[in-house]
Structure 1
Amino acid sequence: MVWVRRVHILFFACFVVQAKLVNVTLDDQDAGLIYTPSDAWADGTDCRVCTAKLETDKLVRGSWHDSTFQPGDKETHKVSVSFNGTAIYVNCILAKSTSNPPLDGHSDMRFFIDGALVGRFARDVSNDSTSTYEYGTTVYANTSIPAGLHTFRLQNGHTNSTTQSLVLLDAITYSYDDEQPDSSVTVYSTATGSLVISETGTPDGEGAVPSESSNIASVVAPAIIVPLVLVISIFALAIYLRRRRRRRHSVVGEYGPSTWGQPTYASTTSYPPARLVSPVADFDHSSRASTPVFETRVGNR
């Protein structure tokens, strides 16, 4: 059955090679991201009234979008994007302090895919001046999206809320299977529409793409591999049994049926056997007088 094991290994290796994913990172400046209302979002790198001041070298492409939802706002702040893939990740910067600098870092976000609510991120910060910001934080990740075209929406705040909510958006990343045997790659989409491909699989910025993306293939693959391997195993077993039966028949045809173990019975005839003679006495030549003769006589007494 060694050849059967080799078939299984070869099949599994071929499938894993074809299950590579490509990560497409959309920077906050990407033209595919739609911000509404437009005046509720500000370019963080060019916003003089924004309180949050970030280190651009820790961001994807050195930029971010700033949105602050205030209680009493008639409309929530949203950012939407269409994508064709099986996974999506949202990366933001979180403010850890409400006093250094003086800003409210509370966050209240909701996430929608194709109009359905799929997640929420809420955070109440305490007065902590030890570290002002957390860069590259994944506030939402979904790796079980059916393959196809989808619409994703991030919503900052909600109606009738009594709490301020801050969103500092860095980038949105989605994944799709390109069915190519290449190593995992990351494609960056910029505002100009050009693409930058990286073979490292990790976008610029601290933790911009969560490590779970490398495990998507191992989650999806068993659902397809297990049934196929089972079918191959049954087929291989049938071939093996058939060949074994043929070899057994060929041995019988060449040497005949085996008699090994069959019992051998002794003859019941006495030895030496009695000899029938005529009723008249039979006397042989004197030279054979010493030879005993067994006879059987038939007659009346």
Structure 2
Amino acid sequence: MFVSRLLAMCFLCVLAAGGTVAWKQRNVTIDDKHGDEVTGIAPKYLPSHAWSSGPRDGLNAKPNASLAYNGTWHDSTHWVNNDQIIVNFGFTGVSVYVYCIIANTPPGPFFDAFANYHILLDGVFVGEYRHDVEMIPDYFYNVPVYVNTTMQNEFHNLSLVANSTERAVLLLFDYATYTVVEEDPVVASTSTDTAAPTSCSLLPTTDQPTGNSQTQIEVIVQVGAALGILAFFVLVGAVIFHLNKKSRTPVLPGTTLRHISRVPRHLATFYRKIVRSLTSHPGESGGVVGDKSSVAQVRSQNKD
């Protein structure tokens, strides 16, 4: 385990030395008039003669320009049984947000403020936005009429379509925002002011030990010490047990006599009598241990 972690640290050091690649996300706005703030491509309005850029004199819808994005919007009305009106733009990203200005009071006696939009993404119908007139003088700004945050990071084409068969539809397109994912290369730098050092050490220093390795070493030391202490006490206990057992083992007369049988015959009788006299007890034949009469008898027999 410790070796594998060292190898992993080596691999990370190599990556840090050669530079790493990170991913970042940022939002890009597509203005109704000025277009994509990165590419400069403006949305397409179809049919072109059905659209007007606001604010402008003669338009029936009069939102507050200071509340619109960049102070502009695109205005069109779809009449029942007329050709559909379309806002179309392309982008590369993982999410998109489409914003419109929503009117509530009909802008004129012959116009309606009804909002009913169909959304097509890459040629496929993906949603609908609908808002009925509330008969109030207010306009709603920055209204998200379509939101999608689960797209693949690739080029997409979006169309906002008004083609109602109920009544006239007012479409005031303001802007759209999409999220793009980009590579963000992080290049190693030797400057201490702009980047942190990328060098690293395989082995922990005494001032900055690595937590996992230090913990493993401490555990190994503690376990080894505990096993050593346990082994010491087991050894001491075995020695004490052995010595105690040996001290309690009696000396048998038969063992002594076996050793006596190895001496010359004329001394054997003398030694046997001494052993019998030493191992005898009061009241037994042969007298008391250390009795002078028994010793005198042994000496007289030795002379004979």
TM above 0.5: yes
- How far 1:145 sits from its partner (Å)? 1.2
2:88 counterpart residue number: 80
Aligned to 1:24: 28
In the other structure, the counterpart of 1:111 is 119
1:137-176 Cα offsets, whole Å, 9 max, x none, are 1111111111011111111124xx1221111011111111
Q: Whole-Å Cα distance in 2 between the matches of residues 97 and 261 of structure 1?
A: 97
Deviation track 1:70-121 (CA, whole Å, cap 9, x = no partner) reads: 1111x21111111011111111110022378884211011111111112110
Pairs within 5 Å for 1:66-105:
66-73=75-82, 75-98=83-106, 103-105=111-113
Higher helix share: 2
Q: Deviations over 1:174-209 (max 9, x none)?
A: 111234499xxxxxxxxxxxxxxxxxxxxxxxxxxx
Structure 2 partner of 1:226: none
Which of 35, 45, 48 in structure 2 is aligned with 1:35?
45
Map of 2:220 onto structure 1: 247
| SS of residue in 1 equivalent to 2:278 | coil
Higher relative contact order (CA 8 A, sep 6+): 1
Q: Supply the distance in 1 between the matched residues of 2:185 and 2:112 (Cα, whole angstroms).
A: 47
CA distance in 2, matches of 1:146, 1:47: 42
Identity percentage over the alignment? 25
Tell me what 1:142 maps to: 148
Quote the offset at 1:42 in angstroms. 1.3
The CA distance in 1 between the partners of 2:47 and 2:151, in whole Å, is 28
Question: 8 Å contact 1:52–1:103 — kept in the other structure?
Answer: no
- The amino acid that maps onto 1:63 is T
Aligned to 1:65: 74
TM-score (norm 1): 0.58
Aligned length: 214
Change (3 A) 1:267 1:101: farther
2-structure distance, mates of 1:294, 1:270: 17
Aligned equivalents of 1:114, 1:32: Cα separation in 2: 18
Q: In structure 1, the residue corresponding to 2:279 is in which secondary structure?
A: coil
Which AA in structure 1 matches 2:144?
A: T
Is 2:64 aligned against 1:55? yes
Cα distance between partner residues in 1 of 2:279 and 2:108:
135
1:198-236 per-position Cα deviation (integer Å, ceiling 9, x unaligned): xxxxxxxxxxxxxxxxxxxxxxxxxxxxxxxxxxxxxx9
Instruction: Give the Cα–Cα distance (whole angstroms) in 1 for the partners of residues 87 and 107 of structure 2.
Output: 28
- Please give the alpha-carbon distance, in whole angstroms, between the structure 2 residues aligned to 1:152 and 1:260: 82
CA contact (8 A) 1:32 1:82 kept: no
Gaps of 5+ in 2: 10-20, 36-40, 187-209, 261-267, 281-304
